[in-house]
Chains A and B, each alone.
Chain A
Amino acid sequence: MNNWLTICNITDIAPNTGVCAKVGEKQVAIFFHKRTDALYAISNYDPIGKANVLSRGIIGSIGDQLCVASPLYKQHFDLQTGTCLEDPSVHIDVYKVRQNSGLVQIHQ
C-alpha cells in the first residue's frame, strides 16, 4: 500500500533542526539535514529521559554516523537506525520519510 501522509512544507523546518509530527497516535521526530539535503524520522520519545523531546535535540555527526543528542541527558540516537550510541541495547523506532515537491511526507 502506498500510504504517504503529508506533514508540512520543507521550508517549515529550519535547516539542520527537527520538528515533531503527530502520526496517528504516534509522535515522530523529523529532522532536515540541510548539508546532505536529507530527511530523517525517528520516534520522538526518549526512552532514557522518558519524555517526548527528541525533536528538540541538536543533530550532528559522530564519526560517520548522523545522530541526534537528547536534550535531556545527551545520549545520542543514530538517525538512520534508531540505535542509542551510548547503550546499543536501546533502540527507538525509525520511519520512512521523503520530500515530495516541497512537501515532507511520512510513510504510515
Chain B
Amino acid sequence: MKKQRILVVGNGMVGNKLIDNLIQADHHAVDIMTFSGEPRLAYDRVHLTSYLTGSSAQDLALVDADYYQQHQVHFSLNDKVTQIDPLAQTVTTESGRVESYNKLVLATGSYPFVPPISGNDQEHCHVYRTLEDLDAIERSSQQSGVGVVIGGGLLGLEAANAIQNLGLETHVVEFAPRLMAVQLDQEGGDLLRRKIEAMGVKVHTQKATTEIVAGETLRYRMNFNDGSHLETDMIVFSAGIRPQDELARAAGITVGERGGIEINQYCQTNHANIYAIGECALWQQQIFGLVAPGYQMAKVAAQHILSPEQATSFNGADMSTKLKLLGVDVASIGEVHGKTEGALSYTYKDDITQVYKRLIVSSDKKKIVGAVLVGDAQAYSNLLQIRQNDMPLPDNPSVLILPNLVNDDSAAIGVEALPDKAMICSCFDVSKAAIKQAVISGCVNMSDLKASTNASTGCGGCSALAKQVLDSELAKLGVEVNNHLCEHFAYSRQELSDLIRVQKIKTFEALLTRYGKGHGCEVCKPTVGSILASFWNDYILQQEHLELQDTNDLYLGNMQKDGTYSVVPRIPAGEITPERLIVLGEVARDFNLYSKITGGQRIDLFGAQLNDLPAIWQRLVDAGFETGHAYGKSLRTVKSCVGSAWCRYGVQDSMGCAIDLENRYKGLRSPHKLKFAVSGCTRECAEAQSKDIGVIATDKGWNLFICGNGGMRPRHADLFATDLDTTTLIRYIDRLLMFYIRTADRLQRTSVWLENLDGGIDYLKDVIIDDKLGLGAELEQAMVDSISKYQCEWKTTLESPEKRQRFHHFINSSERDDGVQFIEIRHQKSPAPKGNTLEIDKPVTA
C-alpha cells in the first residue's frame, strides 16, 4: 500500500503528540513532515516557567531531532506555513517550500492576546508563551526594578510569580473585579488576592489600561480609565490567548465567530482530509486551553487518520484545574458561576487559616455541579472523581468540604468505589483500569507505576490518588509488598532503624542474634553499619564494626577499578587558602597521584596504594585538612557561589552559610550520599535546585529547596520554605535530615524517598515545619548528639599505631600490590588497561 503523506502544521505540544501517536501505531504506513514556527522542536510549554528557575531548553524538550530522524519524520524549523491550497492539497511555507499532502493536520496552538493599547509595542513590553519570550523577559528584568503583569488569570499569576522570582517588585493589573475570574467565584478570588498580596505581589483589580507612556520615576507609566496610573519598568501581557486560525481562515476552512477552527468529533474540519487539534481547534463552540484535551484530540485524530473505521471520538474534556500559584493551592471544578438552574451551594470559610471552599450541587443534591477550593485543595481528586463518574453523594454533601476533624475518612469515597474507567491521570490518560493492569504486570510501587504508565509524571496533581489506587490494587492481589532488607533480616531499613534506636542496639552481632538469621551479607552489613553510625556515631573502624564496612569505609577512601584508592580532603564550600592549595599540590607530586578538580568544588587525588594512605593523610592532616568522606554514604560537599562577599548580585553571604552547613553536617552517616548547595541570589550559580538540600538567598533570608538530584535520574528540587532566617533554616534541615535517616530505604536518595513518601511534600511540611507528629525536638536533639560526636576518621586512624597497621596490602610483607600498573595520559598517571581474559558487559550490583 502506498504511504499516506501527512503534514503537521505546528510542532507544539499537541502536534508532537500526534506525530508520536502515529509513529507508535504504525510508522511504516505514513510519511510525516512537520513545520515549526519556532526555532526548535516541541517542548514542554506547561513547565515553561521552570526555564527561569533552572531548567534548560534541553530539559524542556519533548522530542529531539534524532528521534524524528529515526522514525523518518521530516521537519523544517523556523518555517511557518503561510498558505494552504485545499484543492491542490499543498501547503506553502515562509521559506518558499511547497509540499503536498494526503492529510493535513493543523496544530498551530494559540497566541497571546495583546490589548490594542497605544504604546503596547515598546522594548520592555512582553508576552509569555515561548522560550524566546522568557529570554527577553529575563534580559529586561536585569535592567528593571518594577514589573507589571497585565491579566490576573492563571497564566498571569504564573508570570507574576516568575518576575517576582527574578527579583522585581511585582504588580498584577486585572480588568475584572477579581483574580482568576474564569475559574473562581468572587470570594475565592478575594481570598487568593489576600494570600498573594501577603507574598508581596501588589494586585490592582477593575483597572483597564488606556495607554502606556513614558514614566516620570520609572521607565513607563500606565494610565487607567479611572484616572489613576501606575509606573513600571517592564510589562508582561497575559490577557488571554486567541486561537491561531489565520492560516485556516485564509484557506476557506470554517472558523468560529470568535475564532477557532471548527472540528467534528474526529477532529476533522469542514474539509475531510484537514484536521485541527489542540488550542487552535473549536469543538462545539469551545476552545480547550489545556494540554490534556489537546492530547486527547491528538489521539483521536491519529486513530482516524490511520484507520477511520476504528476511530474513537472526541467528546469534550473536563476543564477542572488544580494548581499552586505563588505557593497557594487553588482548584476549580466544573461550573462555578451559578449558570446551572436551581443549583445549591455549600460554603466553608476559615479566616484564620485562610481557606475558602465552595461546593455547588444540583437542585436534588445528587450531583456535583462545580467546586472552588482556595488555600486547601486536598478535596480536589475526591470531588473530581465523584463528578466525573457520577457517583452518589453522601446524604449531607457538606462533609466533602468540611475539615476532617475526627480523621475518620468519612468523606473519602474510597478508591475501591471508583469505576474502572475512572480517569486517574488526565495528563497521560491513565485510567484506574490501566493502573490495575500495570499492577497485574508486576508493578509494586510508585516508581514502577510512573515508569510503566507515565501516571503522575505530568502536572503531578493525581499522585496521591494514583498511590491509593495502586495500594488498593496491590492489596486486592494479595501482594504483600516485601521491603525486607535482605534474606538475613525480615525488616525494612526503616524498621531496623527503629529497632536499633528504640532497643538501643549497639552492634551488628546483637542485632543479628535478636532479629536476624544467617551470617549477614554485603547488603545488610553496611546498612546496619550506617544506621549504627547515624545514631551512635562512634568511630566506624572500631573492631566490632569493622566487618560491616564497605571497603571504601574500611580504608577511608574510594576503591577505584584497579584496587587503588582516592584521597579526597574536605574543602568546605570550595574555599581554600593558597597555602593549603600548595600542600595539596606537593602531596600529589610527592606520591605521584593523579589530580582532578571535581564538580563538588574540591580536589580528588587518585591512584594511592593502600600502603601509602597513612603517610599521605598524615601530611594532609598536619596541614589542617580533614577527611572529605568521599567514601561514605554521608555529606559530600556544600557547593557555593561567592555570594554577597564578591558578587555584584549577591544578596546574602552564601559562602559563610555553605561553610557553616558543611561543617555542621560533615560526617553524618545517611542512607545514601547527600549533596548540598547554596546560591547567593536567584541567579542560582551554585545549582542548588539539583541538590538534596538547596539554599538560595533572597533579600529577606533563605529559600530552602529539598530533594533535588542530578546524576542518572535528575530531579528538580521542591521549594520547601521561603525567606527563612538562618536559625530556622538550620532547624528545618536538622529535622529533615534526621527524618530522612530514620525513614528512608537503603541507598534511597532523598529524591526517591520523597517520591515514595505517602502524602509527599505536603506531609513532609506537616512533619518538619508544623511539627504535626511532635517529633521536632527529638529530631533536633538526635542531630545535636550526632554532631557532638564528630571526629575526623583519618585523624583518629593516624593517632593509633594498630589502626595504621591495617593499611598494608599484605599482612605478611611490606611489598605493594604488583598487579597495579599505570600508564601516562596527558602528563599524569592512569590505570593501565586490563588484560581481557574475561569480558563482562556490565557491572552486577546488589
Measured CB to CB, the nearest residue on chain B to A58 is B522
Tell me whether B837 and A74 are in contact (CB under 8 A). no
Q: Which residues of A, 28-81, contact B by the 8 Å Cβ criterion?
A: 30, 33, 35, 45, 47-53, 56-63, 66, 69, 71-75
Question: In the complex the two chains form, what is the Cα distance from A88 to B549 in whole Å?
Answer: 27
Tell me whether A61 and B543 are in contact (CB under 8 A). no
* A23 CB, min distance to chain B CBs, angstroms: 8
Q: Determine chain B's interface SS by DSSP, over half rule.
A: loop
Query: Which bracket fits the contact residues of B?
Result: 35 or more
Tell me whether A59 and B547 are in contact (CB under 8 A). yes
Q: Which of chain B's residues have a CB closer than 8 A to the CB of A69?
A: 521-522, 846
Report if A58-B550 is in contact (Cβ < 8 Å); known contacts: A7-B812, A15-B543, A50-B834: yes
* B171 CB, min distance to chain A CBs, angstroms: 59
Query: Which bracket fits the contact residues of A?
Result: 35 or more
Tell me whether A60 and B520 are in contact (CB under 8 A). yes
Tell me whether B812 and A14 are in contact (CB under 8 A). no
Tell me whether A17 and B519 are in contact (CB under 8 A). no
Q: Which of chain B's residues have a CB closer than 8 A to the CB of A27?
A: 810, 817, 819
Report if A73-B845 is in contact (Cβ < 8 Å); known contacts: A33-B519, A61-B518: yes
Question: Which one of B293-301, B554-562, B582-590, B639-647 is at the interface?
Answer: B554-562
Report if A52-B525 is in contact (Cβ < 8 Å); known contacts: A14-B547, A60-B518, A61-B520: no
Tell me whether A51 and B521 are in contact (CB under 8 A). no
* B528 CB, min distance to chain A CBs, angstroms: 11
* B633 CB, min distance to chain A CBs, angstroms: 14
Tell me whether A62 and B843 are in contact (CB under 8 A). no
* B606 CB, min distance to chain A CBs, angstroms: 14
**B563 proximal to A (CB < 8 A):** yes
Measured CB to CB, the nearest residue on chain A to B842 is A73
Question: In the complex the two chains form, what is the Cα distance from A24 to B568 in whole Å?
Answer: 35
Q: Which of chain A's residues have a CB closer than 8 A to the CB of B546?
A: 14-17
Q: Which of chain A's residues have a CB closer than 8 A to the CB of B520?
A: 60-61
**A97 proximal to B (CB < 8 A):** no
Report if A17-B547 is in contact (Cβ < 8 Å); known contacts: A22-B812, A69-B846: yes
* A99 CB, min distance to chain B CBs, angstroms: 15
Report if A51-B487 is in contact (Cβ < 8 Å); known contacts: A14-B547, A35-B519, A56-B559: no
Report if A61-B819 is in contact (Cβ < 8 Å); known contacts: A15-B547, A21-B812: no
Report if A60-B840 is in contact (Cβ < 8 Å); known contacts: A14-B547, A20-B809, A52-B817: no
Q: Which of chain A's residues have a CB closer than 8 A to the CB of B846?
A: 69, 74
Tell me whether B810 and A58 are in contact (CB under 8 A). no
**B1 proximal to A (CB < 8 A):** no
* B600 CB, min distance to chain A CBs, angstroms: 23
**A93 proximal to B (CB < 8 A):** no
Tell me whether B819 and A51 are in contact (CB under 8 A). yes
Q: Which of chain A's residues have a CB closer than 8 A to the CB of B813?
A: 22
* B712 CB, min distance to chain A CBs, angstroms: 17
Q: Which residues of B, 480-537, contact A by the 8 Å Cβ criterion?
A: 487-488, 518-522, 524-526
Tell me whether A58 and B521 are in contact (CB under 8 A). yes
Question: In the complex the two chains form, what is the Cα distance from A13 to B817 in whole Å?
Answer: 19
> Would you list 19 pairs from A and B whose C-beta atoms are within 8 A, ordered by A residue?
A14-B547, A19-B811, A20-B810, A21-B812, A22-B813, A27-B819, A47-B837, A52-B819, A52-B820, A57-B551, A58-B526, A60-B522, A60-B525, A61-B518, A61-B519, A71-B559, A72-B843, A74-B522, A75-B844
Q: What 18 new A-B contacts, CB under 8 Å, besides A72-B561, A74-B846, A86-B844?
A: A7-B811, A7-B812, A14-B547, A15-B547, A16-B519, A21-B811, A27-B819, A35-B519, A47-B837, A48-B840, A49-B561, A51-B819, A51-B834, A58-B547, A58-B549, A60-B522, A60-B525, A61-B518
Shortest Cβ-Cβ A-B pairs, 7 listed: A60-B521, A16-B547, A69-B522, A71-B551, A51-B563, A61-B519, A19-B811
